[in-house]
Amino acid sequence: MDAVQLARLQFAFTIGFHILWPTFTIGTAWFITWLSALWWRTGNQVYRDLIRFWMRIFALGFGMGVITGIVLSYEIGTNWAGFSRSVSNVLGPLFLYETLTAFFLEAGFIGIMLFGEGRVSRGAHFFACLMVAIGALISSTWIIAANSWMQTPAGAVADAQGIYHVVDWSAVIFTSSFPYRLAHMVCASFLTCSFVVAGVSAFHMWRRQHLVASRTAFSMAMWMALILAPAQIFIGDLHGRNTLAQQPTKLAAMEGLWETTRGPGMTVIGWPDMKAERNLYAIEFPHLASLYLTHSWDGEVQGLKAVPPGDRPYVPVVFFAFRIMAGIGVILLVTAITGLVLRLRRRLFYAHWFHIVAMAVTPLGFIAVLAGWTVTEAGRQPWIIYGLLRTADAVAPVTAGAVTTTLLIFFLVYNFLLLAFFWFAGRVALKGPADNALPTRERPGIDRTNAGVPTHKASSLAIGDGAGHLGA
């Protein structure tokens, strides 16, 4: 592989791994904030148990998000020097604003959110949760703005050296695809989280343990899913129509459409053959794509052949990633509606088969997010800035050997971390919300709490409280 492909592979791997954690923490932060508000207003112990439980899992995910995110803020420079040189005037300020308005906000309040309890009031704890949750949203706003500018650039002009200069900041930030992308991503992370909460709660109901807390969380999660699953499909449809207008080649690759057609059919499945410029083994429903893309029976949709082969993305990746994403969307919608039916029949907490379904669909949201990002990023190729700057012209003067070495290390390290995360977060999740024992800070053989090492008065309070709860 050449340096460009290696750099792309490395960036795809590190950003694909990173995106899992924001997806998880954006939604979870708001879930915890909501719980914290309920606990503050009602004083109901169930909310406190749920906060403690979900906060432990959240903390692990947040840590993973922070460290994998720092990597990206440097990787753009180390691997994509040509790109940074071209767009620093445009994207630099957006990333800087992300740091200023989002990362610092999260970092400033995450300590209070995670450890402040006992030191700050319930209202102040809620406020800290809210700040972290808002920070996560602001962060995604800036990142999506930057990405959208790369997809549908506006508000900046290039000079003779290929350096972009901003002429209109609001045009740079609010590009034509920005609102759809942002809504689609934020909705995706809320939806993913609903099913994570539902899946973990379903596990405990299935095991008939921690019933009060699990039923509360399960019910909340299924309401969320019921609102979000159809909303996401609606937003996805709007986003698709925007892509049709702004990035027709990407859309043609998503649909596997080669010829520019009036009233194109929907290819359910098939194999896009890039050499032959047609789909093999295709199953097609006539006019259906025209209906959902143009909302008319005979709308015209541009095909891949409208651009020369050198300007087309690698079609099979885009084509299949889109089908995975859309397929998961349908599965989640069906699950959410089934939940409603069971709820109306008062079977939501008792239908064990449904709890197994809820457990099974838990990881699907993450897969859909990865597939969705694959569609949007692979579909943009061979451009790093759509229609303006080719990916091949964006790389850094770094040797392929150096990139290969670090890629291998990233691969090993990230997979190891993922296993460690599953191990630790899984253990917390499987123990369940009523397990309020302090984690393993107290270990056998250490009687240090009253032997020499001084403890803050809050510590004895916390240990007493945790132990008391465990005993109860």
User: CB–CB of 317/381 below 8 Å?
Assistant: no
Q: Tell me the backbone φ, ψ of residue 159, rounded to 5 degrees.
A: -95, -170
Q: Give me Rg for the CA atoms of the chain.
A: 24
Which tokens sit at 162?
């290929």
Residue list 89-148, contact with another protein (CB under 8 A): 89-93, 95-101, 103-112, 114-123, 125
Residue 287: CB atoms within 10 Å: 16
What are the Cα distances from residue 78, in Å, to 13, 81, 265, 408? 15, 6, 44, 16
Residue list 399-418, contact with another protein (CB under 8 A): 399, 401-402, 406, 409-410, 413, 417
Minimal distance, residue 78 CB to another protein, in Å: 5
Q: What is the DSSP letter of 275?
A: T
CB-wise, 346 or 457, nearer to another protein?
457
**Interatomic CA distance for residues 171 and 183, integer angstroms:** 18
Would you give the binding string for another protein spanning residues 167-186, x where CB under 8 A is met? x-x-----------------
Beta-carbon contacts of residue 297 (< 8 Å; ≥ 6 apart):
263, 287, 290, 291
- Interaction of residue 286 with another protein, rule CB under 8 A: no
Residue list 35-54, contact with another protein (CB under 8 A): 39-40, 43, 48, 51-52
- Binding part of the chain for another protein, among 229-237, 265-273, 287-295, 419-427 by CB under 8 A, reads 419-427
CB-wise, 169 or 285, nearer to another protein?
169
- Binding part of the chain for another protein, among 192-200, 288-296, 325-333, 393-401 by CB under 8 A, reads 393-401
Residue list 344-373, contact with another protein (CB under 8 A): none
Residue 443: CB atoms within 10 Å: 7
CB-wise, 51 or 371, nearer to another protein?
51
What are the Cα distances from residue 104, in Å, to 90, 97, 134, 171, 173? 21, 10, 12, 26, 21
CB-wise, 64 or 221, nearer to another protein?
64
Instruction: For residue 198, give the amino acid letter.
Output: A
CB-wise, 38 or 205, nearer to another protein?
38
Residue list 59-78, contact with another protein (CB under 8 A): 59-60, 63-64, 66-71, 73-74, 76-78
Minimal distance, residue 19 CB to another protein, in Å: 16
**Interatomic CA distance for residues 187 and 193, integer angstroms:** 10
Residue list 432-461, contact with another protein (CB under 8 A): 438-441, 443, 446, 448-449, 452-461
Minimal distance, residue 82 CB to another protein, in Å: 8
User: CB–CB of 258/275 below 8 Å?
Assistant: no
CB-wise, 125 or 355, nearer to another protein?
125
Total residues at the site for another protein (CB under 8 A)? 102
